[in-house]
Amino acid sequence: MQDVASARKTFLAVWLIASVIKVVIAARLPLFVDEAFYWQEGRHLAAAYSDLPGLTAWLTRLGTELGGQHRLALRAPFLIMAALIPWLIAHITRRWFDEAAGWQAGTLTVLMPLSGTLGLLALPDVPMALAAVLCLDAGARLLREIDATSAAELALGLAIGALSHYRFLGVIGVGFVALLCLPEGRRILRDPRIWIALAVGVAAWAPLLAWNLEYADAGLRFQLVDRHPWSFQPTGAWFVIIQALMVTPLLFAALMIAGFRASRGTADVPSQWRYFGLLGMASTLGFFALGFFADVERVSFHWPLPGYLALILAVPALIAGWPRFWRRALWILAGVGMVAMLAYYLVASVPSWRERFAAEKYYPYNFAGWSHLARAVREERARLPADTTLLAGSFKVGAELGFALDDPDIRVLDHPLNRKHGRAPQLQLWKLQDDGTRDTPVLLVIGQGDVQYKHLLDYYHTLCGQVGPLPPPRVVNIDHGHQRFLLFALPKEKAKGACVAPAMAWIDAPVSRAGVSSRFPVQGWAFKEGVGLKGVEVLIDGKPVAKAEYGRSEPGVAAFWRISNDPQHPRVGFRADVDASALSPGRHWLGLRLHGNDGSVEDWEEQPIDIEP
């Protein structure tokens, strides 16, 4: 094991470098959609909300009150909390193992991607992780000696956790079971000071309980019932694989081995070590099992983090017995994993870098384009009548535009995403959910990516039902259209008639990322609800290179999009011969310009092609 001085210097260097990099990225990285909604909640202060307890919103409000309307100010309280966690881990490990092991555990906490990137985003997982570590420390100290200080720390951790997330109930349950498994733990539960601490923790749930009692358990139903299928899903096996990758494989293996060893009931294992192992393994394995039955559509890789923070305490002592090669490999892999995660956020924060990954599976669309959209909205509002109101198509657009425009009261249409993410009840409480009726002009802003493409036409028809036939939109394409917004200037009175909606299109050939010669054909289909298209142009890198022959028969398109009312079906196919000989070989972006019979001109999403020499 490293000597104490070397371990301490390594920790300080790694912690300082990581902290500085995180601050730089946090200052540049556009707000994630959930962060924007927490900001909006912070501007409507309440004891609890439909999706979460109150602490996350309160912290965003604190940050912006002290630092101004800036993403770094909003994230500052979370960055500070996250920066404290490695120090706490080091402190706990030094008490129960030794000095060098403590500093090593702190360094591993910085390097483990799940814990090392905490604070970059203003999310409830940050205070929840801090709460878990405080409870972990308090529990271990109480196993040795019951005193008022440790009981107060336990009360503080329980209160912070209760104010952070519903998921902290799992941490409490696991901690209680771990104490019951230990004779010293059962002794703790007989002390009145512990019950006072527990009472403080229970009281912290009161605002959330009161909210659910008043609003028919809407928050509980969403978190515990609505968002989860609660049926076995074999794809849950990917959850464990993703965990190994997100933690880094060797560190993940070390955590599991340390947990199994520490949780064994042998006489040579101190009760505190058993407590760490029981707490960590029960939490981690519990979430692994939950992954087979719970929500797999949204990000959940961060759920087992509290368990990992308990297990990481024993890792330095464990790997001290490993061969030098494997110890080095663990440290290197952990460092590479942390660098990779930071690089992902850095790429998302730099538009020119993010654009290069526009067609990739992990394109960070939730971070993309909000400043461009806000600029377009300002421009449109400047040319529209003064009494024009702003209307967002979903909570995502409403919250992100709200932060960019410093307006927390943007009205939002009913949208599947509002319900899917548990935000619909909150919008209703704020009286911000809109039914589409109006007596003033409206600028409607929707995000095309908020709906899967196969459901997009259905959504357009729903939108027509809400606000009437849609006028020609202003299209805001970001990163080659992989983040795409549509702005509609709606008249004062809701128009009547058949649904008119934005154009829809698909390029059948060449496929995305295909290699093509300098002369190649482009074919596919395109249509526009209500009015149809009068022409299609082919673009490369945003410039017209060919006018397509439009009107080819495509009966399969009408058969798939059965509700389409484009009058030109089935003659909605197109084909063009493109001469790209003037372009340099390599990566280019192929797109379409769709001309509607109503005068609309819409540039479609682009896809990459590789022109061969």
Q: Which H, E and C letters describe 311-339, residue by residue?
A: HHHHHHHHHCCCCHHHHHHHHHHHHHHHH
Query: Would you say residue 258 has pLDDT above 90?
Result: no
Q: How far apart are CA 193 and CA 164, in angstroms?
A: 24
Q: How far apart are CA 40 and CA 42, in angstroms?
A: 5
Backbone CA torsion sign across 152, 158, 163, 164: positive
* pLDDT value of position 285: 77
Q: How far apart are CA 334 and CA 332, in angstroms?
A: 5
Query: Would you say residue 357 has pLDDT above 90?
Result: no
Q: What is the mean pLDDT of residues 558-575?
A: 96
Q: How far apart are CA 225 and CA 232, in angstroms?
A: 15
Q: How far apart are CA 592 and CA 572, in angstroms?
A: 14
Which is it for strands 519-528 and 543-547: parallel, antiparallel or unpaired?
A: unpaired
> Which residue would you say has higher pLDDT here, 185 or 146?
146
Q: What are phi and psi of 423, to 5 degrees?
A: -100, -15
> Which helix (H) or strand (E) element contains residue 150?
helix 148-162
Closest Cα to residue 412, out of 375, 460, 446?
Answer: 446
Q: How far apart are CA 477 and CA 352, in angstroms?
A: 14
36 within 8 A of 399, measured Cβ to Cβ:
yes
Task: Name the pLDDT band for 295 (thresholds 50, 70, 90).
Answer: low
pLDDT digits (tens, 9 = 90+) for 212-256: 888 877 777 777 776 666 676 776 677 778 888 889 999 999 999
Q: What is the mean pLDDT of residues 484-494?
A: 95
Which residues, 6 or more positions from 448, have their beta carbon under 8 angstroms from its beta carbon? Answer: 456, 484, 485, 486, 502
Q: Around Cβ 142, how many Cβ atoms within 10 Å? A: 27
What are 490's strand-pairing partners? 442
Which residues, 6 or more positions from 428, have their beta carbon under 8 angstroms from its beta carbon? Answer: none
* pLDDT value of position 227: 66
> Which residue would you say has higher pLDDT here, 239 or 151?
151
Task: Name the pLDDT band for 270 (thresholds 50, 70, 90).
Answer: low
Terminal CA-to-CA distance of the chain, rounded, Å?
Answer: 56
**Measured CA angle at 539 (ends 536, 544), to 5 deg:** 85
What are 97's strand-pairing partners? none
88 within 8 A of 115, measured Cβ to Cβ:
no
Q: Where are the alpha helices (DSSP H) in 97-146?
A: 99-111, 113-116, 125-144
**Burial class for 148, CB neighbours closer than 10 Å (0-12, 13-18, 19+):** exposed
Q: What is the mean pLDDT of residues 495-520?
A: 94
The C-alpha torsion from 292 through 294 and 295 to 300, rounded to 10°, is -80
Q: How far apart are CA 99 and CA 9, in angstroms?
A: 12
Supply 562's token pair.
């059965």
Q: Any idea which of 140-144, 264-268, 330-334 has the lowest mean pLDDT? A: 264-268
* pLDDT value of position 47: 94
Q: What is the mean pLDDT of residues 427-445?
A: 94
At which residue do the structure tokens 């923790």 appear?
A: 201
Task: Name the pLDDT band for 516 (thresholds 50, 70, 90).
Answer: very high
**Measured CA angle at 606 (ends 603, 609), to 5 deg:** 145
* pLDDT value of position 1: 53
Task: Name the pLDDT band for 301 (thresholds 50, 70, 90).
Answer: low
Closest Cα to residue 394, out of 354, 430, 445, 346?
Answer: 445
How many H helices and E strands in the chain? 26, 16
Supply 305's token pair.
């983090």
* pLDDT value of position 221: 75
> Which residue would you say has higher pLDDT here, 364 or 12?
12
Closest Cα to residue 315, out of 269, 250, 245, 244?
Answer: 250
Which is it for strands 411-413 and 433-434: parallel, antiparallel or unpaired?
A: parallel
What are 444's strand-pairing partners? 391, 488
* pLDDT value of position 249: 94
Q: What is the mean pLDDT of residues 157-180?
A: 89
Question: For residue 398, what are the CA distances in angstroms to 48, 372, 433, 444?
Answer: 20, 15, 10, 10
Supply 40's token pair.
């909006």
Q: How far apart are CA 76 and CA 66, in angstroms?
A: 10
447 within 8 A of 400, measured Cβ to Cβ:
no
* pLDDT value of position 99: 92
* pLDDT value of position 96: 87
> Which helix (H) or strand (E) element contains residue 483?
strand 483-490
**How high does pLDDT run on average in the chain?**
91
pLDDT digits (tens, 9 = 90+) for 524-535: 999 999 999 999
* pLDDT value of position 171: 84
Query: Would you say residue 339 has pLDDT above 90?
Result: yes
Q: Got the DSSP string for 395-463?
A: HHHHHHHHHHHT-TT-EEE--HHHHHTT-HHHHHHTT-EE-S--SS-EEEEEEGGGS-GGGHHHHHHHH
At which residue do the structure tokens 């010669």 appear?
A: 517
> Which residue would you say has higher pLDDT here, 575 or 240?
575
pLDDT digits (tens, 9 = 90+) for 72-124: 999 999 999 999 999 999 999 999 888 999 999 999 999 999 999 999 999 99
Instruction: Report the percentage of the chain scoring pLDDT > 70.
Output: 95
Longest dimension (CA), the chain: 83
Q: How far apart are CA 594 and CA 503, in angstroms?
A: 7
Which residues, 6 or more positions from 184, have their beta carbon under 8 angstroms from its beta carbon? Answer: 143, 271
> Which helix (H) or strand (E) element contains residue 4?
helix 4-28
Query: Would you say residue 265 has pLDDT above 60?
Result: no
pLDDT digits (tens, 9 = 90+) for 19-64: 999 999 999 999 999 999 999 999 999 999 998 999 999 999 999 9
Query: Would you say residue 333 has pLDDT above 70?
Result: yes
Question: For residue 357, what are the CA distances in angstroms to 347, 352, 368, 513, 603?
Answer: 9, 10, 12, 12, 20
391 within 8 A of 411, measured Cβ to Cβ:
yes
